[in-house]
Structures are given as C-alpha cells and as structure tokens.
Structure 1
Amino acid sequence: MNPFLSFLIRSAAAIPAAVVIWLISFFGLEFPFLLSSAAALAGGALIYWLAGIFSDARFLKKHGLTRKEYRYIRKNLDEAKKKISRLNKTLFSIRHFPSIKQRIELFRVIRKIYSMTKKEPKRFYQAERFYFSHLDSILELTEKYAFISSQPKKNRELDEALYQTRETLSELSKAVEKDLYQVLSNDLEHLSFEIDVAKHSIKTANDIKNEARQSVPLPKNTAKPEVPAAPSHFVHTETNANKRAEEEEKTESQQQTGPRYSINTHTKEKVEIPIYTTREERYKAENRRSNR
C-alpha cells in the first residue's frame, strides 16, 4: 500500500478521535487540562495504530499474502529501490552516446517491473530472477563500465573490456524484457481467456439468431379475390343509355347555338417566275416593266 495514502487514512481517523476524547475528558469528565491532553494523545495514537492494522490486513487479504510474506517482499523491495537509485546515477554518467537509447530503455523496463511489484506485491514471486540475479548483474557491470570509461587514457585491453561489457549489458537488457513478460504472464493468460469467452458468447448469440430466423415460417402469397363480372345485358343497357344521352346533348346544343358556317379564306394563286438565260433578255424584260 502507498505509505503516504496509508498515513492520510490513519491521520483522518486518529485526529478527530483525539479531539473527541479531549472534549469528553475536559468538559464531560472534568479532568485537568494536562490529563485530558494526555488522554487525547493516547487515544489518537491507539486509533492511528488500529487503523494501520486494519488497512494492512485489508491490503494483505486483497493480494492473498501473509504478514510474513509481505515483510519479506517489502524488505527486498527496499533493497531493490536503493539499487535502482544507484543504477540510475551510473547509467546516465556513462558518456557513450551510441548506447544512450539502449540505457534509457533498460532503465524504463527496470522501473516498470519495480513499480508493478510495489503496487501488487504478489508479483514479486514472478520477478525473483530479476531481483536476485539480473538487477545485481546490471548494477555491477554499469558501475565497472562507468569507472573504466572515465579513465583519461585507454589501451586496447580497456577498449576490448568496454566492448564486451556493452555486449553483455545488451544481453541483460533482453533478459530484463523477458522478466517483464514473465511478470505479465498471468495477465496475458487472463486476457486470452477473456477473449475466448467473448468469442464464444458472440458465436452463441449468432447461432441463436440464425435458428430463430429459420424457425419463423415465411408468409404465403395471398391472391386478391376476383370481382365477378357484371351480366352482359346490364352492360348493353348501360352503353345504349350513354349513347342516347350524348345524342340528346348534341341536339340541345344545336338548338341553342344554331347552325355553324365556315368561310374558306385561303386562295390559291399561280405565280409565274421568269427564268432568263442571258443578260440581254433580263434587260429587255426590265425595260418592258418600266414602260408599263
């Protein structure tokens, strides 16, 4: 559990209890001021201790650990915190720029493993190889590498040693990544299980829908009822009556308006168009017209 959060919870329970005890002791029981203050402090301390026991018990029950196991894990985590702090200073004191990205990534993975283990102490058992082997090896190699690389003069042997150290740190970086995957192994298994359950539920729902569609009968095509035709003698009588009504309307309209006459205004007139073969004939014709 986060120590700061635990302190806030305990203080929130202890301070009001101490104030209430002091008020009861001083005003209710009429104790002297010093005795009331001592009782309030004792009561507040007792409440603070009981709240800590209650919160720790709840935390251990949540993660399935005993007090002995938690003390063991807490001790190793405190040691690992000191080692990680030393490693942080050493990694970023090395002046080898081509490997700076690798060092940053290595430290990020180490911090991730530590934070996950601190938040959920039960994960410590999945990261024992990291805490008891890989972290110590990385710390020793980086400190020696930083010491050798800080020397003003180097020979071939020192350069070879530095090169071998960088290669070993690269391999340890891969090992630390595997440690992280090992810490997350239970989460990955749980995730794959949840995915399988979700797929199975989706498949079951689709099967139920398909069965429901197949079980519902399709509606049959219903033809419209045919209207029986009227008898033939009714049809003939209706047509004769309609003709008579039309003839009567025509005669009435003629009687009212009278006979109609039409005048043809179109006249047909033949027009002759002369065609001249020579220019002289054309001049003669024009002279004739002018003389007229």
Structure 2
Amino acid sequence: MIKINCKDTNLEPLCVKIGIIGGSGLDDPDILENRKETEISTPFGSPSDALIEGEIGGVKCVLLARHGRTHNIMPSNVNYRANIWAMRQMGCTHLIVSTACGSLREEIHPGDLVVPNDFIDRTTKRLQTFYDGGPNSPRGVCHLSMHPAFNERVRSILITTAKELDLSVHEKATIVTIEGPRFSSRSESIMFRQWGGDLINMTTCPEVVLAKEAGLLYGSIAIATDYDCWQKGCEAVNVQDVLKTFAANVIKVKHILMKAVQNIAQEDWSDDILDAKECVCKNTMNGAM
C-alpha cells in the first residue's frame, strides 16, 4: 500500500520539474534537449508509452504521449492513473497538457487557443481516483474539492505566455469531457451548450482530477478544431477536418508550452507545491499519514 507523507515542512525553495502530456501531434520529443527514454511501471499499471526525460531551456521536463506515440490508445482506454502517477514518480511538480477540442461557442473559432478553467465530466467508464481501496492504493478515501479545477497560477502563466508570443487566447472555458470515441449527437451538443459548456473533448477527465489528487499543479492549453455538430446548416465534425485544423495550429501550442516551461521555472513554487500536497492530505479520511 502506498503511504503519503503529509508532514513535509521543508521551507527551502523546491525544485521545479514539469511534466508535459501531449495529445496527437503535441508529443514531439524534439522539444526536449538531452533527452532519454525511461520505461516505468506504477502501482496502477503501465503508462501510455515510455516517458521521455530532458530539458527545455535548462528546465527539467518529462514528456508523455497520452495516446501512445502511434496513437493506438483510444480515450477510454488511456490508463490515466498510471500516466499521472508516473509523472509523480518521476518527481514532477507541475503538469501542463495539450488537448484538441470541439467548440460549443460561436466566438471560439476553429484554430483558436483556449486555457480552460472548469469542466463537466460526462465519462462513465474511467477510474477517477487513486484511493480506491485496492492493495496498491494510498490509504483512505479522498474527497477532493475540484474547485478550482485547474491550478490558477499555472493558468495565468499559460495565458501570459501566449500574450508574450503575440498569440490570441481565450482565458476561460468549461470543457465537457465525453466518453468517446464517437462524437456527440446534435441533441447532445445542444444540451452541453445549455449546460454552460464552451468546449468538448474526450481526455480532460479524469486526467485533471487525478493530477490534483496526486498533488501536481495542472494547467491545459486547448486547440479548438471544429464546431462539433450544434450549428444548424453546417457540416458535422469529422476526423479529417479536425486533423487539418489541428496541424495548421499545433506549432502555436508548442511555442506556448516551451516558453511557459521557462516562465514557470523563473518563479518560486514552494508554497504552491506544499499547499497542493496538504490539500490532498486534509481531504483524505482514515489514513493519509
């Protein structure tokens, strides 16, 4: 059984190490210098692929392809727990990720960049917690608040970084995560709009939940690739159009990720890292030691 140490009172500045989880086209190892591959196993199974350690501008990073480097893992079959725990085992303090999304709002155009701040989880098959009572799980039950869902300080840096690069970005959005791999029906798409959804994808949940449960400071940069299917008189989303829009805009996200890594490393995150850890401990009943 995993034991979580909740009594770390180290007041020295803590070293930053940044995990990067990339969706299709955003898992390019060439963004890392001095890179090496590491095969890792976790108490929750194997992650999607080998982890690639390296540096961006001297900052230690770990890169992981969410769907595997050959994109052979569909969204529901991604081992999110192993992916997040692997990042934790590698000593990551932050996790910045990329995702392709459909837009549920007229003002979020295909090709636009978005930094989400909340989510609606419509998945049904995925393991949502490390604290499941299994033989390899941490002790106890974690009732973790998901507000705020994303780390606000990391979000702020992603937004500031985009502006430094003269890239337009939507600063808030609620992502609806569906099970997939199919896209939504029109009625579902309209319903998600009525619920307050701004974007729709298949991977944010439970990744964002598990990152917070692991004490990682998590932020996401999304590319809107299409308008899903809610617009009347317009073609429904299809894979070819998604890939075309994604390929035309992926370089923008790479630039943001690489610059954001350096911007994050320039600041002292000691309090944030310890607060994230303490948040998990305070919300775990019967046994976080």
Superposed pair shares fold, TM > 0.5? no
Q: Say which structure, 1 or 2, has more relative contact order (CA 8 Å, 6+ apart).
A: 2
Whose strand proportion is higher, 1 or 2?
A: 2
Q: TM-score range by the shorter chain?
A: under 0.3
- Taking structure 1 as the reference length, the TM-score comes to 0.19
Greater percentage in helix? 1
What TM-score do the two structures reach when normalised by structure 2? 0.19
